[in-house]
Amino acid sequence: MLNKIIVRNLGITSFESTCEAMQQFTVARTPESADEIWVTEHTPVYSLGLNRKQVAPPLRHDIAVVHTDRGGKITYHGPGQIIIYVLLDLSRRHLNIRSLVSLLEQTVIELLAQYQVSAVAKADAPGVYVTLNNTQEAKIASLGLRVKNNCCYHGLSLNIDMDLSPFSAIDPCGYKGMAVTQTKDLGIDANIQTIGEQLVTMLASKLEHLHDERTP
């Protein structure tokens, strides 16, 4: 049943090795390969996407910068941030890259709403944003995807309970002065495992439903 999605909980992984595994999975997959969601946290790393023009290097040098093949600019990954990688056959799910981005953003927005946190997406700046008490806007989730042969990989990151200070050494996603926040600082006391499970359950349900509702 190709509508069902395999979920793999990888634990804490290195960004580079996981990216390599996603690339290998995508190259090797066939029309009969099941779609998968990989759930992980990464050891500290700055990841620099394909949009590298006018990206300032980090102001600190104790965290490696890794070039990657996803869309977008620079961001930070570290323990306490949930990473959801979506390895999907877009044709099977009747998705294009824009509709997938919207689906990922909406899933995070709906999850936060369950904890009485209002969040929004932006057409010109992929990700999920909240408004802090001081009315400042802050980013809580980032997105970056890669498509090959109409199959995608990479995905989204959601800040849960992490050291946010490395973000201050970069322009997050290319936006100078962009504030970054996390669920813990918004008063959500659920841990990363709980939020990760909720997010994956919601996302897998949406994706499986997309297949079901349009497949004869």
**Residues annotated as catalytic (active site), given as ranges:** 173
Report the C-alpha gap between 136 and 7 in whole angstroms.
Answer: 36
In angstroms, how far is CA 209 from the centroid of its own chain?
20
Residues 130, 119 contacting (CB under 8 angstroms)? yes
Q: Are strands 137-148 and 179-180 parallel, antiparallel or unpaired?
A: parallel
Region of residue 58 (left: phi > 0; alpha: psi -120 to 50; beta: else): beta
Contact 167, 157 (CB under 8 A): no
Q: What angle do CA 175, 82, 76 make, to 5 degrees?
A: 35
